[in-house]
Each structure stands twice: as structure tokens, then as C-alpha cells.
A and B are shown apart, each in its own frame.
Chain A
């Protein structure tokens, strides 16, 4: 894999850079869920998560601790996931497996969102093209600003805004489609 260069800046000496062990401890679940939403098949998640942490290990010295960690981590997850998808054998997502994973997730019991709604939105999200999906995830789920996202993904600011707009439209269309499909198959 050939990761793009991560934007770096000299960090103040008094700001501690996290160690890989700390990142693993606090962010493994974030990486895991991010990779799943980026279309990594359940059966491959461990392999790909391992690859992400290997990449992190190599690039950790380039991390500027004054900047938010998660967008930086997302950049790795996104690039590794992109490479994964470029492999011919992985081009097709087995959404059925992922849907099952989402439906069985214990967090689905959380009252913020029902299991059915989780299934709906996770499925719709997977239908959004990957580059747009990344913006959507970072902005809507992680709550990152567009400038931060643009820096993390190493893309122009206007491109990030444009992708977000398109991604929102994609998502809304996918939700409508899934809802209509559900109504068509509902018991009469």
C-alpha cells in the first residue's frame, strides 16, 4: 500500500504524541466500525484492521498531536479500505453479511436509534460511493468540520464540500429506495 503523505507540522515539545498502544486501546473500536462502514467484509475486518495499525505504526511520528486524532486515523482507515476495494476479488461488497452484523450489534438496543433504523441507515450508507461516504461519515457521524476532513483526506476544500453535498443526496435517495422496497415487501 502506498499511503499518501500525511500532512505534518512540527509539534510543540510539550504536547505528547500518543503511542500506538494508547491508540489501540482507545480507538480500536472506532477503527473497526469505520472499516465496517467503509465496506470491509466482516470476514476481512481483522486483517484490514491489522493493516491499518501497521500503517499507523509506521506513520505515527508524522502525527501532529495538536490536531484531532480521529480524522487522522480515519485517513488511514480510508486509504487501507480503498486499497482493499481495489483488489478485484473484493470489489463486490457482501452487504448481507454486514447487514447481519449491524442487526446483531448489541448497541442496536440503544434508544437513540432502533435496530430497524440502524439497518436502514447502515445499508443506505453502504450504497454511497466510497469517496463521498468517507466525507459523510466524518462529518455527520464523527462531527468533524469540512476543513479538518479535507486536511485528513488530503483533498481540496471545495472538493470536500461538493462530495458532502452529493453524498447527502445519495444517502437520501438510498433511504427512499430501501423504504419503498420495504413497503413493497410488507405483508398485506
Chain B
């Protein structure tokens, strides 16, 4: 606030023009928004399943984002469930898990249907099918066709093979570890974040979410003041993932080093 008369003649428009629109947004915020987009958009990028059109997060009066994402996922899974039901020639009653025929049940194991348990942890489960977006070979590119590893489960006539269940399980574990790390970082506890990231690195040194882990590591290292390591990690990250969607987060973290 101005405290003296000599500042009273400042030109408001000159002050306004001095504002830059491109001040860097918080790196954590960019990562969180990106995470949500990865959750909602990959399915929507597929021409056959434009779920993003029905994604309710943009509807007026919608509640928290987690709730909205959960509803979007439920809608998506209902689409699959209905498609599978039609393709398999089973009746509508087969949607109920207790009476579902074998084929439907197998699919529910792979991609849980929108039952109450699924609702309870919809966001967690939803993160499972997003590894392709983390892969350096397949950077997030929602306007192209959906990554094949994502689009295959969307096909109502092609239930997943059992082998992918193990993959999904591993991905879920990876995601859980990174979620813990992200929560720690979001709680302003970069030390705990690094601990969780180290767990992930030990368990999944070349995991599908290694890119996300490395990006978060840079942020956490900056948070604990290990700037030199952070810069080194950032350089390695840029070389290893030159087209990473997480690059802005890494760059912002490095830029924030005093």
C-alpha cells in the first residue's frame, strides 16, 4: 500500500502494463492440473470414446474435482459395460456383478465397473490406465489418437488378456507410491516426498511412471534446498524426456531456485 503522497500520481495504466501475464504458475499447481487432465482426457482423445464431451467438470454447479472425475469415470465405465453387454449378447441384468456371466466378470476384474467400491476410490483406479502418457516414447498428446495401451480396453468386443492384470496391478502400486510422494510435496514436506520417491525408485527403477517420479524428484530437491542435485536431475530429465509434458513443472522448479 502506498504510504506517502508522492506515489499518489502513479499512472494506473502504466502499472497495469507493467504486469506480465506470463509469470510462472506454481509448479505444483501445473502438475496437479496436468494429473487431472491425464485422468480425464486420454479416454476422450479416442475417437470412439469421446468421454471428455460428457466430462461434467465444466458444468456449472459441479462440486470438487475429485467428485467430478469420479463421475466421469463412472460414466466411462458404464459405457464400456454397456458395450460389453451388447457385444456379448447378455442381458441387462448381467450388469449386476452378482449375476454377471463369466465374460463380464473378467472384464470387471480388469476395469472395475462403477459399483460403490469403485466409486470409493475412483480416482485411484482411474490413474491406473494412464501409463502411456508417462512414457517417453508416447508423450501426452491428447489431440492425436489415444495411446494404444489405453484404447484397447475401451473396445467393447475385446476383453483384456489376463497378462494385463499384472501390469495394471504394478501400475497401481507405482501410482500409490507416487501419490504418497505427491501428497507429501503438497503438504510442504519435500523430505517425506523424497523418501516416497526413493521407495518407488527401488521398487520400480524403470517403471512406467519413472518420468513422473523424476519430475517430482526435481521439485522435491528444490524444496529441501539441494539445488545442485536438482539442476543435475533436471538436465538428465530434459535429455531423457525431451518432449515430456512434465517439463514445465521441472523448468518452473529450477527457475524457482533463488
Contacts and interface: CB of A to CB of B under 8 A. Distances in A.
Interface in B41-68: 41, 44, 52-53, 55, 57-61, 64-65
B32 to A, nearest CB: 5
A117 B10 contact: yes
A32 interface: yes
Contacts of B248: 24-25, 28
A149 to B, nearest CB: 14
A54 B52 contact: yes
Contacts of B57: 47, 50-51, 54
Contacts of B36: 46, 50
B134 interface: no
Taking residues whose C-beta sits less than 8 angstroms from the other chain, chain A's interface range is 35 or more
B16 A29 contact: no
B202 interface: no
Contacts of B4: 183, 186
A120 interface: yes
A54 B219 CA distance: 26
Interface of B: 1-5, 7-8, 10, 12-13, 15-26, 29-30, 32-34, 36-37, 40-41, 44, 52-53, 55, 57-61, 64-65, 139-144, 245, 247-248, 256
4 closest A-B pairs by beta carbon, nearest first, are A32-B25, A182-B1, A113-B18, A121-B15
17 contacts: A19-B141, A20-B41, A28-B25, A29-B24, A33-B22, A50-B36, A54-B52, A86-B60, A107-B24, A113-B15, A117-B18, A120-B1, A120-B2, A121-B16, A141-B19, A179-B7, A183-B2
